[in-house]
A and B are shown apart, each in its own frame.
Chain A
Amino acid sequence: MRPQGSWRYRWHAALLIQRRDLRSIILGLSMYIVLSLSLLASALILRNYLNFVNESGLLVLSDPFRLPFLIVTFLFSLFLALSSVTTIAREKDQGTLEVLFYGPVDCFSYILGKYLAQISSYLVAAAIYVCCFILYADLTNLIFPFSMTWVIILSVLTISAVIAFGIFLSTLTGTARAALLLFLGVVLVFVAIQAGHEVLANISPQGRYYNPILFLKNVFSFLNKVANWLSPFSYFNQGMNAVRRSSGISYLVMLLVSAVYSVAFLGLSMVTLERKGVRK
């Protein structure tokens, strides 16, 4: 049973944990390395566009910054996924989790604090990305359209889903290494399902090897649909499709689904942490 208590204490503890973790991320070097690498990748993409215009004289694009933003968001989400996957497991491994729970901290405030720290670091990164892209736009005269605002808002919620998923995985294990292995395993499964689905989708269902291939195709199609719901990495793609199609309803649906996903996995994390305990 979750201990009853003042929400004021919970929020206070959550904000303190958030501040501590955010400080740790900001003072670490990893975040800056990821920022630099991802900006470099986006610079290469933009340079590629400009080279194409130089050679062909012409390039038609809706949002030249959509692909760069996708790249930077993906790379940073990978960083945040790894960070959130190890955050709780590492504290448990080090024993500092137990020390924290000597005090007025419960699972709710702890998980919330962890989540807020990760999402705050993304907001900082997103602000840096937007500033850099605006500078890139000025340097190159490639347009940074207002519609990117929707993409940025989308990215916050879909990254939130990634973080919540990572935190949940972190509560399942007792050590940072086990958490990392679990995360890699899960990602590999998602990738394998998607790859299998893509390969089988290109095989005509009417092939001479009808029955087994069709069966496999149906299985992978079903698994792919499940994976698209379970894997937080797919939400950003789906949301981007909605933006590309200018489909407001689909966009709002993706925002809502991402938010629900985040809440669900954060809730699961709290329950798991309560059941597994905070001891090393």
Chain B
Amino acid sequence: MRKGTLCLPVTLLLSIFFTAAALAQAPVKERRFVYGVNAFAGRDYVGTFYPPTVNTLYLLADTRSIISPRYTLLYFWPITNEYKVDWDSLNETVTGTLEILRRGKLLHSLSQTKYVIQHPRGLDAGEVHLYIGREAEAQYQEFQRQRQAYRDRVWEYYEATRRYQEQLEEELARGERGEEVSIPDPPLEPEPFMFFSTSLNDGSPIELPAGAYSIRIRGADGQIVPQSERKLIVFSPRREGLGYTIIPQTKWTTPEQADDPSQVIYARSGSSMYLQPFVEEEHNELYYTRLAKPQSTEGRSDRWVWVHIQPKDGGYLEVLRDGQVIGRVERKPYWVKQIPGPALGYEVVEYQAGGEGSRPRSPDFEGYEIRVEPGQPSYAIRLVEPDGSVVVGSEREIRLVKTRNLWALYLLPLLPLTAGVSLTVWRRGKVAPRQDKVS
């Protein structure tokens, strides 16, 4: 084999090797200025950071968020193609005031204060609180107290369990000896501790109306901290409304969304669906995406996206036909019952509290069941509050698709071609035959 022939594959292998070696090396971490942000995203707070390469911050209007200037170790992570921070190694508060400007004019000058973000009923329960200043300290202490109380309960439970085990063994021994046995009650496991809280941190609370601003940190020496000058876009929702997550009975694991009021729900005759209403807001896609992921390249400024804020509880669903109310549906819990045996499948069954036999401890979901009856081309549904008022933006139309005689769909496109051919033939007949070139 010629030397030249070997060169290319060897070169390729070496380049792959060295690239892999380069990638496998530990990333280079540098001490850099970043903005740590706890931004309110409509329903919860999102913790992010803005590296020096991201020039614009995004926040929701008229809601309180926290901006925390920090020095930390910043490094580039090529696997996910983004910058990351090592808070554990370095998390140094930048002393100074946060200046907010608009069109070059200083609007606010904010100092840093203590803050804490807490979810008293768990991260997914939808309840979140931001406390600042002394209230933050107090709430954090309360969290610590409750956590400690839970730990104490857990410890007591473990002790009770240990004693229970010992008692059981004693009773078993007595039983073996033929003595009277008395089985003690097992200790009750304490309810899980759902209270979530961040630690007490420093940051500047910020709440602004919608608009374009710029921010910077003025240090204790009166100078602007390098790399702290950024733009700030504060945006508000374009619309608010009520959207639905719709769980089809035939594919309960892949729900659909009917967030936009203009959307129509198309269904098959005889099918069932379960509607879950949500309070929602419509935001600019680019702004909202960058609020949650500052380094993301996704999101377009000319698109809008509906964001579910929180489930809409209470109320009932009205079903209408031709403007007349024909039914009323209450919200109910359901569970998915697997059909035993070789025939795979499931059915959705209304959940009854008490949990016997195969019923689960808790329902799989809650919602309003709508069954699409055959014979009616369309329905409308709307959510009504307990006091009888219709929730604005909750109307949706449900239409039954026709699935018969669909061959006509393919027949229609033939009509223009037929017309064209007919015209061509007619024209040919109208025009006299070609004459050989005779003058």
Contacts and interface: CB of A to CB of B under 8 A. Distances in A.
Most buried by A among B54, B81, B378, B416: B416
Contact of A36 (B246, B249, B273, B417): B417
Contacts of A246: 262
A60 interface: yes
A9 B410 CA distance: 47
Contacts of B405: 139
B7 to A, nearest CB: 26
Interface in B409-429: 409-410, 412-417, 419-421, 423-424, 427
Interface string B288-318: 0000000101000011100000000000000
Given A32-B416, A58-B248, A141-B402, A241 B268 contact: no
B62 to A, nearest CB: 22
Contacts of A153: none
Contacts of A49: 266, 401
Given A36-B414, A62-B260, A62-B263, A201 B297 contact: yes
A143 B412 contact: no
A208 B76 contact: yes
Contacts of B54: 206
Contacts of A143: 264, 397, 399
Given A27-B423, A132-B412, A57 B251 contact: yes
Contacts of B427: 27
B265 A58 contact: yes
A47 B410 CA distance: 9
Interface string A43-60: 100110110011111111
A136 B409 contact: yes
Interface in B254-295: 254, 256-258, 260, 262-268, 271-273, 295
Given A33-B417, A43-B413, A53-B266, A60 B246 contact: yes
B196 interface: no
Q: How large is the interface on A (under 10, 10 to 19, 20 to 34, 35 or more residues)?
A: 35 or more
Given A32-B420, A40-B410, A43-B409, A62 B264 contact: yes
B164 interface: no
A203 B424 contact: no
Given A139-B402, A142-B401, A53 B267 contact: yes
B406 A47 contact: yes
A189 interface: no
B78 A204 contact: no
Given A206-B76, A241-B303, A57 B409 contact: no
B335 interface: no
B425 to A, nearest CB: 10
A43 B256 CA distance: 24
B78 A208 contact: yes
A61 B266 contact: yes
A245 interface: yes
Given A36-B416, A206-B83, A141 B378 contact: yes
A31 interface: yes
B408 interface: yes
A39 B414 CA distance: 9
Contact of A46 (B78, B251, B409, B414): B409
B76 A62 contact: no
A43 B410 contact: yes
A26 interface: yes
B251 A204 contact: no
Interface string A235-270: 000100100011000000000000000000000000
Given A35-B417, A59-B266, 20 more contacts: A26-B423, A27-B424, A31-B420, A35-B413, A36-B415, A43-B413, A53-B266, A53-B268, A57-B251, A57-B267, A58-B266, A60-B246, A61-B266, A64-B266, A132-B412, A140-B409, A205-B53, A206-B51, A206-B295, A245-B304
The 9 closest A-B pairs by CB, nearest first: A32-B420, A39-B413, A35-B416, A57-B271, A58-B248, A36-B417, A40-B413, A43-B409, A206-B53
8 contacts: A29-B424, A49-B266, A57-B268, A59-B267, A63-B262, A139-B409, A142-B266, A241-B303
Interface of A: 26-27, 29, 31-33, 35-37, 39-40, 43, 46-47, 49-50, 53-64, 128, 132, 135-136, 139-143, 145, 147, 201-208, 238, 241, 245-246
Interface of B: 51, 53-54, 76, 78, 81-83, 238, 246, 248-251, 254, 256-258, 260, 262-268, 271-273, 295, 297, 302-304, 377-378, 397, 399-403, 405-406, 408-410, 412-417, 419-421, 423-424, 427
